[in-house]
Amino acid sequence: MIHASGPDQGIQRNHATDFAPGQSDIIGLTTDSTLKIDAGNRAHSPPDQPVFIANNTSDGSSAQLRASIRSSIELTDVWLIDNSSRASNGVRLLNSDLTMTHSPDGSCSPEWGLGGCSRISGNFKSESNGISTVLALELIAASDGPRDAIIERTIIADNSAPSGSAELFRVHSNPDLATLTLDSVLIAGNQAWGLFHLRSDSVVNMGWSTLVGNSSPGSLGNIFFSLEGPATLNLYSSILWQPESAPQIEMFSFSDPATLALADCLVVHDADEVIDENPASINQVTDDDPMFVDAANGDYRVPLDSPAVACDNSMLGNPLDLGGYQRGVEPWAGSAPVYTAGAWSAAAADLIFSDRFE
């Protein structure tokens, strides 16, 4: 168990050298049992103090956290930020599980409310090369049963690679089932050829999340893609918005038999792209402007008159949004609760306004 009591706590400013050709170097921690990093325990850590895994560098290919067969990583209020290597950064799971979350009362850095305590941001590939790179998370289920990675109430932003062969997430079932679930997550400003690589019969579930303003270093990239196998993608209660000013990036690039199985209560920049994937279940998909409060300055909340305020609670996961506010709010006293697609519930300022004028 690792806790944090001050800004210098954590794994920071380490350097690893590629000491042998073809042999990986290691930064950070490797576990073959259970690794818990918890800054949400108030007996050890104040609400504004995350554990930092930050500013580590590598000459070779290295993940900051690794879990091997039949082990798990549990992260609460962890900042995995500003690390660099020639290849992989972030977390690598081989036949292992992950939970990454934000404590209910954490307030590490105000993100329009409580929030900011769980982050994967600013990690980058240090050079242009042909090495396949995973910037945030790689999940592989090769034996010993199904494996799950669950990330909730987390900011995943500004991770980058200078050229191709870089992905933000890679989920690989080989042959056991690998499932990645994202809930109340912001994915913004990342630069990679592909954001989500689904391999074999892997599953990605993304709900109550906001994906916006990501780009590719080349002329064309992909948000969700699969090159082989019957992978499954489920999207619900989310905003996927690629503004016209952002570099070109396609929403889907699936090879048969991979499928978009569920598309429910989505605000997307091109509804036709979703419809063309012919999902087995489709409901409430619009490409009307989500009306972000201040996208130019990174405020991706939405007001009460946004088309995103149209979901029900049938697929509700974490009852708190990314900022720590309760989902399912009453716009005015006695009204039916509204549920907002995206990482944040309806903007707090609108709720305060309506409360004052009941």
Task: Quote the pLDDT of residue 259.
Answer: 95
Task: Quote the pLDDT of residue 240.
Answer: 97
Highest mean pLDDT, choosing among 46-50, 221-225, 280-284, 299-303: 280-284
Q: Look at residue 5 and tell me if it is in a domain.
A: no
* 8 Å CB contact between 50 and 4: yes
Q: Is the pLDDT of residue 350 over 60?
A: no
- Enter the DSSP assignment of 275: H
The model carries a pTM of 0.92
Q: Residue 198 carries which side chain, given as an amino acid letter? A: L
* pLDDT tens, position by position, 272-312: 999 999 999 999 999 999 999 998 888 899 998 899 998 99
Q: Is the pLDDT of residue 321 over 80?
A: yes
Q: How far apart are CA 31 and CA 341, in angstroms?
A: 36
Average pLDDT over residues 58-87: 86
pLDDT-derived band at 358 (thresholds 50, 70, 90) equals: very low
Q: Is the pLDDT of residue 132 over 80?
A: no
Q: Is the pLDDT of residue 119 over 80?
A: yes
Q: Is the pLDDT of residue 234 over 80?
A: yes
Highest mean pLDDT, choosing among 130-144, 173-187, 322-336: 173-187
Residue, of 1 and 171, whose pLDDT is higher: 171
What lies within 8 Å, CB to CB, of 78 at 6+ separation is 37, 39, 50, 51, 53, 100, 118, 119
Q: Look at residue 2 and tell me if it is in a domain.
A: no
* 8 Å CB contact between 69 and 96: yes
Kindly report the CA angle at 98 between 94 and 104, in degrees rounded to 5? 170
Q: Is the pLDDT of residue 331 over 80?
A: no
Q: List the structure tokens of 75.
A: 């992260």
- Enter the DSSP assignment of 20: B
Q: Look at residue 315 and tell me if it is in a domain.
A: yes
Q: How far apart are CA 133 and CA 90, in angstroms?
A: 10
Average pLDDT over residues 328-337: 81
Q: Look at residue 3 and tell me if it is in a domain.
A: no
β-sheet bridge partners, residue 156: 120, 187
Q: Look at residue 1 and tell me if it is in a domain.
A: no
Q: Is the pLDDT of residue 75 over 90?
A: yes
Q: Is the pLDDT of residue 14 over 80?
A: yes
| Domain total of the chain | 1
Q: Is the pLDDT of residue 195 over 50?
A: yes
Query: The sheet that has 57-58: what strands, in order across it?
Result: 15-16, 57-58, 84-85, 124-125
Task: Quote the pLDDT of residue 245.
Answer: 61
Task: Quote the pLDDT of residue 356.
Answer: 36
Report H helices in the chain: 271-276, 348-356
Average pLDDT over residues 189-207: 94
Task: Quote the pLDDT of residue 247.
Answer: 58
Question: Which of 150, 293, 271, 162 has its CA nearest to residue 216?
Answer: 162
Q: Look at residue 156 and tell me if it is in a domain.
A: yes
Q: Is the pLDDT of residue 352 over 50?
A: no
- Give φ, ψ of 115 to 5 degrees: 155, -175
pLDDT-derived band at 354 (thresholds 50, 70, 90) equals: very low
Q: How far apart are CA 91 and CA 194, in angstroms?
A: 17
Task: Quote the pLDDT of residue 111.
Answer: 54
Q: Look at residue 244 and tell me if it is in a domain.
A: yes
Q: Look at residue 172 and tell me if it is in a domain.
A: yes
Show the domain range for 269.
Answer: 10-356
pLDDT-derived band at 179 (thresholds 50, 70, 90) equals: very high
pLDDT-derived band at 210 (thresholds 50, 70, 90) equals: very high
* pLDDT tens, position by position, 235-277: 999 999 987 765 568 899 998 899 999 999 999 999 999 999 9
Q: Is the pLDDT of residue 127 over 60?
A: yes
Among the ranges given (23-32, 56-65, 255-264), the one the predictor scored with the smallest mean pLDDT: 23-32
Q: Residue 326 carries which side chain, given as an amino acid letter? A: Q
